[in-house]
Structure 1
Amino acid sequence: MNQRFEADYLIETALDPRRAAETMAGEQSSGTFLRLAGETDALKLRAAARVESLEELEARPAPSLPGAAGDCGQGWRRARVTLSWPLDTIGPSLPNLMSTVAGNLFELHAFSGLRLTDIRLPPAFAAAGPGPRFGIEGTRRLAGVGAGPLIGTIVKPSVGLSPAATADLVATLAGAGIDFIKDDELQSDGPACPFEDRARAVMRVINDHSDKTGKKVMFAFNLTGEVDEMRRRHDLIRDLGGTCVMVNLNSVGVSGFLALSRHAELPIHAHRNGWGYLSRHPALGWSYTAWSKIWRLAGADHMHVNGLANKFCEEDDSVIRSARAQLTPLWSDNPCIAMPVFSSAQTVLQPPETFRQLGSADLIYAAGGGILGHPDGPAAGVESLRAAWAAAMAGADLDDWARSHPPLARALAQARGITS
Structure 2
Amino acid sequence: MTRIYATYDIETPVGLERAAAVLAGEQSTGTFVRLAAETDELRARSAAVVENIEPTGTSKIPSLPCRKSGETYERGLVTVSWPLGNFGTSLPTLLSTLAGNLFELAELSAIRLVSMDLPAAFANDHPGPQFGAAGTRSFMGGHEGPLIGTIIKPSIGLSAQETGDLVRTLVEAGIDFIKDDELQANGPDCPFDDRLDAVMQVINDHADKTGKTVPYAANITDEIDQMKRNLDKMQSVGADCAMVCVSSIGQAGLRSVRDHSAALIHGHRAGWGVYSRSPDIGISFEVMQKLWRLAGVDHLHVNGLGNKFTEDDATVAHAARSVQKPVSDHGGPTHAAMPVYSSGQTIWQVDPARRLLGNDDFIFCAGGGIMSHPSGPAAGVISLRQAAAAAQQGIPIEDFATTGDPLSQAMAQFRRPEIKV
**TM-score band w.r.t. shorter chain:** over 0.9
Give, in angstroms, the shift of residue 60 of structure 1. Answer: 2.8
Is 2:268 the partner of 1:271?
Answer: yes
Query: Do residues 152 (structure 1) and 143 (structure 2) align?
Result: no
Q: CA 1:327–1:76 in structure 2 vs 1: closer, same or farther (change >3 Å)?
A: same
Find the aligned partners of 1:355 and 1:77 in 2 and give their Cα distance.
Answer: 40
- Whichever residue aligns with residue 99 of structure 1, its letter is S
**2:118 equivalent to 1:93:** no
Do 1:387 and 1:405's aligned partners in 2 also have CA atoms closer than 8 Å? Answer: no
Instruction: Provide closer, same or farther for how the CA distance between residues 318 and 417 of structure 1 changes in structure 2, counting only shifts above 3 A.
Output: closer
| Structure 2 Cα separation of the partners of residues 150 and 300 of structure 1 | 17
TM-score normalised by the chain length of structure 1:
0.96
Aligned to 1:250: 247
Query: Is 1:376 equivalent to 2:375 in the alignment?
Result: yes
| TM-fit CA distance, 1:417 | 8.3
1:9-158 alignment, distance < 5 Å: 9-71=8-70, 73=71, 75-144=72-141, 146-158=143-155
Is 1:177 the equivalent of 2:174?
A: yes
Q: Deviations over 1:103-129 (max 9, x none)?
A: 000110111111111111122222332
Identity of aligned residues (%): 52
Report the secondary structure of 1:306's partner residue.
coil
Structure 1 equivalent of residue 389 of structure 2:
390
Could you tell me how far apart the structure 1 residues matched to 2:349 and 2:289 are?
A: 23
Kept after mapping to 1: 8 A contact 2:124/2:332: no
Partner SS for 1:189:
coil
C-alpha deviation, 1:315, in angstroms: 0.9
Q: Verify: 1:307 aligned to 2:304, yes or no.
A: yes
Match of 2:277 in 1: 280
Secondary structure of the residue aligned to 1:350 is helix
For 2:224 and 2:167, the matched residues in 1 are separated by: 27
1:162-311, aligned counterparts within 5 Å?
A: 162-311=159-308
Question: CA deviation digits over 1:17-76, x for unaligned, max 9?
Answer: 1111111100000001111111111000001000111111122332211125212x3x32
Residues 7 and 114, structure 2, Cα contact 8 Å, conserved in 1: yes
Distance 1:68 1:254 in 2: 32
Q: What is the CA–CA distance in structure 2 between the aligned matches of 1:417 and 1:103, rounded to whole Å?
A: 42
Change (3 A) 1:410 1:286: same
Unmatched segments (≥5 aa) in structure 1: none
Q: CA deviation at 1:214?
A: 0.3
Stretches of structure 2 lacking an aligned partner (at least 5 in a row): none
- Partner deviation per Cα, 1:155-194 (whole Å, 9 max, x = no partner): 0000111111100110110001101000110111111111
Q: Secondary structure at the match of 2:302?
A: strand
Contact 2:348 2:416 in 1 (8 A): no
Q: What do residues 367-416 of structure 1 show as CA deviations (whole Å, max 9, x unaligned)?
A: 00111111111111001011112212222112111127810000010002
Deviation at 1:144, TM superposition (A): 3.5
Paired amino acid for 1:311: K
Counterpart secondary structure, 1:117: strand
Amino acid of the residue matched to residue 370 of structure 2? Answer: I
TM-score, normalised on structure 2?
0.96
Equivalence for 1:351? 350
- Cross-structure match for 2:325: 328
What is the CA–CA distance in structure 2 between the aligned matches of 1:388 and 1:7, rounded to whole Å?
40
CA contact (8 A) 1:143 1:180 kept: no
Question: Per-residue deviation at 1:333?
Answer: 3.6
State the secondary structure of the residue aligned to 1:21: helix
Q: Look up the equivalent residue of 1:268 and give its one-letter code.
A: I
C-alpha displacement of 1:418? 9.9
Does the CA contact (< 8 Å) of 2:160 and 2:198 recur in 1?
yes
Q: Distance in 2 between matches of 1:32 and 1:405?
A: 70
Structure 2: distance between partners of 1:120 and 1:248: 25
Structure 1 counterpart of 2:41, one-letter code: A
Per-residue CA distance 1:219-243 (angstroms, 9 max, x = gap): 0000011111001101111121111
The whole-number CA distance in structure 2 between the counterparts of 1:344 and 1:222 is: 18
Match of 2:362 in 1: 363
Whole-angstrom distance in 1 between the partners of 2:293 and 2:36: 40
The 2-side partners of 1:3 and 1:183 are apart by 41
Q: Find the aligned partners of 1:289 and 1:417 in 2 and give their Cα distance.
A: 29
How many residue pairs match? The answer is: 416
CA distance in 1, matches of 2:82, 2:121: 14
Quick one: distance in 1 between partners of 2:113 and 2:375?
46
RMSD in angstroms over aligned alpha carbons? 1.5
